[in-house]
Structure 1
Amino acid sequence: MRRLVHYIASTLDGFIAGPDGADPTGPDGFWPIPEDYLRHLVAEYPETLPGPARQALSVTAAGTHFDTVLEGRRSYGIGLAAGVTDAYPHLRHLVFSRTLTETPAPAVELVADDPVATVRQLKQQDGKDIWLLGGGELAGSLYTEIDTLILKVAPMTIGNGIPLFSRKAAFDPRTWTLTDHTVLKSSAMILTYTRATG
């Protein structure tokens, strides 16, 4: 069965973006992207690089982890505001929204249905794992469906911002097993956790 993997960058204090929700890695962003971090992403998770970055870096590798990416309307809107209608043309790209009725990218699938029901259907289909990109609202609604957390932890704190999971997520304590970790010279960490059973 396919797994839902929340593969996301986070600060040490658990935020994925600043209070305004803007792209923290964009031209006016505050997120550090050291060379060793970028090299790791290219080598290990090339499919998670947006199309324009793949082109700029001459990345053609299909990747081995994901063939489907899920994101919420606000995250998708960040790309649209930057003129990117489909940041992941190399993946099946689903955007969850009850307000968007069309997208300028024909390959992007708009989903107005319940995210949990949709993910349960996707898990039954053949393919690689499913990448939950974000943001916090969608991650909060899919909290109970996440099988694996891969946190790209930046060596920084920001004090306030968009949390890993929306505050609307249900209170549901879960335990996770650390199954892999990489610590880079730049002090960034990539931590992989699998949901504990039992």
Structure 2
Amino acid sequence: MRALTYFVATSLDGRIAGPDGDWSAFPTEGDHLDMILASWSDTLPAHVLAALGREPDGTRFDAVLMGWETYAVGLPLGVTSPYPHLEQVVVSRRHGPEDVPTDVRVVGDPLAEVRRLKQQPGAGIWLCGGGALAASVAEEIDRWVLKVNPVVMGDGVPLLHGGGYAPRDLVLTACTPYRSGVVVLEYERA
């Protein structure tokens, strides 16, 4: 069965974005980025990979699940298909197939979609964001990979926002500090 991984940047106070969805407080330079390029290239948008002259390695993920607000970040830049190297699923109850290109799928029930994806053959499923979506599928998250950034936001989008979270024991499988101040914490369900 495929695993659902919540791979996300967070502040020290558990915010994945500022009050207006702004994540510019997170460092965009530093040695932690080498780790992302080397081990998590599937999570980089196609336009970023192209600018770096890189290709996704396709080994970690082959599907991405994101909320509409996360998806819409690229729209002002003309990015309508941010991860064409992955099966792209956007969760929205206000938007439909007419609002996205044909290689992006819109669904209304995230929990049912995660369960469906897990039953399909393939590599992993990346939960890209946001906090409300993560809370709604928390019971299905198999792996948590938190890029904890050395910033405090004080307010904004929490790692898990709203109901739906089912507490469970998590086992720390890796803790990697970087000179940039970023610490990557990896947990799996016990």
Aligned to 2:49: 54
Q: Which amino acid aligns with 1:154?
A: N
Sequence identity percentage: 45
Question: How many pairs does the alignment contain?
Answer: 189
The 5 A counterparts of 1:1-198 are 1-22=1-22, 24=23, 29-101=24-96, 102-112=98-108, 114-166=109-161, 168-170=162-164, 172-196=166-190
- For 1:69 and 1:30, the matched residues in 2 are separated by 24
| Cα deviation digits, residues 83-102 of structure 1 (max 9, x gap) | 21011011110001111122
How far apart are residue 78 of structure 1 and its match? Answer: 1.3
**Structure 1 ranges of 4+ moved more than 4 A:** none
- For 1:152 and 1:36, the matched residues in 2 are separated by 12
Q: Which runs of 5+ in 1 are unaligned?
A: none
Contact 1:4 1:146 in 2 (8 A): yes
How far apart are residue 110 of structure 1 and its match? Answer: 1.1
Q: CA RMSD in A?
A: 1.3
- For 2:87 and 2:46, the matched residues in 1 are separated by 13
Q: Which amino acid aligns with 1:147?
A: D
TM-score under structure 2 length normalisation: 0.94
Q: Secondary structure at the match of 1:144?
A: helix
Contact 2:30 2:179 in 1 (8 A): no
Query: Judging changes above 3 Å, is the alpha-carbon distance between structure 1 residues 61 and 133 closer, same or farther for their aligned structure 2 residues?
Result: closer
Contact 1:45 1:63 in 2 (8 A): no
- For 2:164 and 2:135, the matched residues in 1 are separated by 8
- For 1:36 and 1:76, the matched residues in 2 are separated by 26
- For 2:82 and 2:75, the matched residues in 1 are separated by 9
Q: Which runs of 5+ in 2 are unaligned?
A: none
